[in-house]
C-alpha cells in the first residue's frame, strides 16, 4: 500500500501570514466608557507592551487550520500501531453520548441534588471498573496514568504510615514504564531496580533478593512493556505481602486482560486503569486522559475525597474520610472521558470486552508471526497485546530502527513506538489493538516486509526517508533543544 500524491500547499506559521491592519472580526462601536486598566489591575500584572497576536483575516484563519488538519494523522485515518499506547478506534456513539447537554452543561460545583444523573453514572462506572479489575473500591479522580500511579503510591504511603511503618523503598523492574520510578521518587521513596530474566519476565527469585522490611511496594506492569504476561505474579505477590509490602500494578496494558484475568485475584493491592487506552476514549492530541485507581478493601479508607456514595436519598459526595490522602484533582475527574468509557462498557458488555482482549492478542501474534522471518524478535514467545522487534538484521546494512520507521511513512502508515522499552536495543514496538481488520494489518505487514527487502537492496532509500511527505526528515534533536517558542514581528 503506497501513500498517494495530492496537492499539498505550503502552510507557514500563522504569525508569518500576519500583516498590520488585517482583521478577522468586526465589532460594534463600544458604548461603554473606556477604563484605565491600572485602576483595576495591579501594576505588576500589566503588560509593558500589547500582546503580539497575528493580524489575519477570518478566511486566512480557516484556511490555515483546515490545511493543518489535512496534514494530520489519527486513528480515524489509518492504523496507529504505537506500542504501549493502545490507539484503538474511538466509537462515535461514545462521542454523541458525551455531548448530551445534561453532561456538557453541568458545572462541577453544581448542587448534588441537581446532578444526580452524573453522580449515578460515576458511581456505576466505579463498580464496573472494580468488577473488570477485581478491585474492591475505585476512585475516578486521577487525570491520567502517571497521575494514577502517583495517587496509588500516595495511598500506599498513607496505609504504611497508619500502621507505624516508615518504609523507604519501592521495587521497580527494568521493564517498567518510565513514569514508575518518577512517581516513586515524587512520593518520597527510593527506587530499587530489579532485572527481568532472559525470557522477559520478573522471577520470584529476583524479587525475593530485593525484598526487605523497608520496601513499601513492588510496581509491576502486567502484561509488561515487552508485551509478555507476568506469569509469576501470584508467587511474587506472596513474597511481597509476607514481608509487609504491597503490589502496585500499572494497568496501562489492561486491554490484553479485560474479561480474561482480574488482576485483583492475582494479589494486586493497587492499580490504575487508563480509560483513554483500554476504554477507547480519545487521547494524545485527541483529548485528555483519565487514570482511575482501584484498591483492595484495606486501602479504601485512604482513597481521595470526595467519594461518591449511594444513600436512600440518592447519590452524594462523601468528604468524611479522615484517613483519606485528600483531593488529587480540582474536581472529580475528567468527566467527559468518564462518560465515554461508561458508554463503551455498556455498549459491549462483558462478552464484548472479552472479545476485544482476545482479538487484540490475536492481532499482535499475527503480526509477530508474519514479521518474524524479516525482523529480529528478541523474545520469541507468545505475546499479549503487542510485540517487540529490533533492527538487528538491518543494522549490519547501515539501516537503523529510525530509518525503518521513517520509511514506513512513505507507505502510508504511522510508525510504531521506537526505542522503547529501553531494555531492548533499538526496539520496534507494535500494538495493532483489536480495532484493525486482517486486510489493514496485511497492508502494514507487506510494507514492513518491503522495507526489509529495501534495506538489503537499496539501503539509501531508507536513509533519506520519508520521501513523499511535505518535508523530509527533520532534525528532531535540534527541535527539542532549540525550540522556537516566541514570535517577534520582523524576526
What are 139-170's pLDDT values in tens digits? 999 999 999 999 999 999 999 999 998 899 99
Return the closest-CA partner of residue 224 out of 159, 156, 173, 299. Answer: 173
Query: If 0-12 CB within 10 Å is exposed, 13-18 middle and 19+ buried, where does residue 34 land?
Result: exposed
Contacts of 150 (CB under 8 A, 6+ apart): 142, 183, 186, 187, 328
Quick one: pLDDT at residue 6?
57
pLDDT of residue 188: 95
Three-state SS for 42?
coil
Q: What is the pLDDT of residues 385-406, one digit of tens each?
A: 999 999 999 999 999 999 999 9
The architecture of the domain spanning 351-479 is Alpha-Beta Complex (3.90)
What is the model's pLDDT at position 1?
Answer: 47
Q: Which fold has domain 93-347?
A: 3.40.640
Distances (CA, A) of 237 to 156, 259, 270, 341: 15, 21, 12, 30
Q: What is the DSSP letter of 246?
A: E
CA distance 161 to 400: 49
Domain ranges of the chain: 14-71, 93-347, 351-479
3-state secondary structure of 343: helix
Contact 224, 201 (CB under 8 A): yes
d(CA 176, CA 249): 10
Please list, residue by residue across 335-347, b when 16 or more beta carbons sit within 10 angstroms of its beta carbon and e when fewer do. bbbbbbbbbbbee
Strand partners, 309: 316
pLDDT value of residue 287? 67
Residues of the chain with pLDDT under 70: 1-8, 285-287, 487-491
Task: Give the span between the Cα atoms of 405 and 417, in whole angstroms.
Answer: 9
CA dihedral 161, 163, 167, 169 (to 10 degrees): -90
pLDDT for the residue numbered 50: 81
Q: Residue 195: helix, strand or coil by DSSP?
A: coil
- Residue 73, pLDDT score: 85
Q: Is there a shared CATH topology between the 93-347 domain and the 351-479 domain?
A: no
Strands ordered across the beta sheet of 270-273: 137-139, 293-295, 270-273, 246-251, 215-221, 169-173, 190-194
Amino acid at each position: 500500500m503506497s501513500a498517494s500524491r495530492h496537492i499539498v500547499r505550503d502552510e507557514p506559521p500563522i504569525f508569518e501570514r500576519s500583516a498590520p491592519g488585517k482583521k478577522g472580526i468586526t465589532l460594534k462601536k463600544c458604548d461603554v466608557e473606556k477604563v484605565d486598566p491600572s485602576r483595576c489591575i495591579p501594576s505588576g500584572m500589566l503588560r509593558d507592551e500589547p500582546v503580539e497576536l497575528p493580524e489575519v483575516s477570518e478566511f486566512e484563519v480557516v484556511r490555515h487550520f483546515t490545511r493543518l488538519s489535512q496534514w494530520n494523522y489519527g486513528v480515524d485515518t489509518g492504523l496507529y500501531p504505537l506500542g504501549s499506547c493502545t490507539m484503538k478506534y474511538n466509537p462515535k456513539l461514545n462521542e454523541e453520548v458525551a455531548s448530551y447537554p445534561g453532561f456538557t452543561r453541568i458545572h462541577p460545583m453544581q448542587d448534588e441534588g441537581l446532578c444526580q444523573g452524573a453522580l449515578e453514572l460515576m458511581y456505576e462506572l466505579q463498580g464496573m471498573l472494580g468488577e473488570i479489575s477485581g478491585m474492591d473500591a475505585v476512585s475516578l479522580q486521577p487525570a491520567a496514568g502517571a497521575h494514577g500511579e502517583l495517587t496509588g503510591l500516595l495511598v500506599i504511603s498513607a496505609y504504611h504510615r497508619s500502621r507505624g511503618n516508615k518504609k523507604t523503598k519501592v521495587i521497580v523492574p527494568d521493564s517498567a514504564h518510565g513514569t514508575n520510578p518518577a512517581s516513586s521518587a515524587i512520593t518520597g521513596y527510593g527506587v530499587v531496580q530489579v532485572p527481568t530474566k532472559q525470557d522477559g519476565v520478573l522471577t520470584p527469585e529476583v524479587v525475593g533478593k530485593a525484598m526487605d522490611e523497608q520496601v513499601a511496594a513492588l510496581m509491576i506492569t502486567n502484561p509488561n512493556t515487552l508485551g509478555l504476561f507476568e506469569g509469576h505474579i501470584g508467587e511474587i505477590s506472596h513474597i511481597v505481602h509476607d514481608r509487609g509490602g504491597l503490589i502496585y500494578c500499572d494497568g496501562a496494558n489492561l486491554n490484553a486482560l479485560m474479561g480474561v484475568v482480574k488482576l485483583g485475584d492475582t494479589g494486586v493491592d493497587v492499580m490504575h486503569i487508563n480509560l483513554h487506552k483500554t476504554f477507547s476514549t480519545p487521547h494524545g492530541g485527541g483529548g485528555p486522559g483519565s487514570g482511575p485507581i482501584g484498591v483492595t478493601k484495606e486501602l479504601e479508607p485512604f482513597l481521595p475525597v470526595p467519594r461518591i456514595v449511594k444513600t436512600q436519598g440518592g447519590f452524594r459526595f462523601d468528604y468524611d474520610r479522615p484517613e483519606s490522602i485528600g483531593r488529587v484533582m480540582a474536581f472529580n475527574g475528567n468527566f467527559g472521558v468518564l462518560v465515554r468509557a461508561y458508554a463503551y462498557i455498556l455498549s459491549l458488555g462483558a462478552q464484548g470486552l472479552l472479545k476485544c482482549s482476545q482479538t487484540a492478542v490475536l492481532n499482535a501474534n499475527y503480526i509477530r508471526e508474519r514479521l518474524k522471518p524479516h525482523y529480529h524478535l528478541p523474545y520469541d514467545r507468545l505475546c499479549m497485546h503487542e510485540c517487540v522487534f529490533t533492527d538487528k538484521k538491518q543494522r549490519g546494512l547501515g539501516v537503523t530502527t529510525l530509518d525503518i520507521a521513517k520509511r514506513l511513512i512513505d507507505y502510508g502508515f504511522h510508525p510504531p513506538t521506537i526505542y522503547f522499552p529501553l531494555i531492548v536495543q533499538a526496539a520496534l514496538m507494535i500494538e495493532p489493538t483489536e480495532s484493525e481488520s486482517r486486510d489493514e494489518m496485511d497492508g502494514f505487514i507487506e510494507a514492513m516486509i518491503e522495507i526489509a527487502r529495501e534495506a538489503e537492496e537499496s539501503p539509501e532509500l531508507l536513509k533519506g526517508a520519508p520521501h513523499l511527505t511535505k518535508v523530509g526528515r527533520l532534525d528532531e534533536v535540534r527541535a527539542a533543544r532549540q525550540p522556537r517558542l516566541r514570535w517577534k514581528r520582523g524576526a
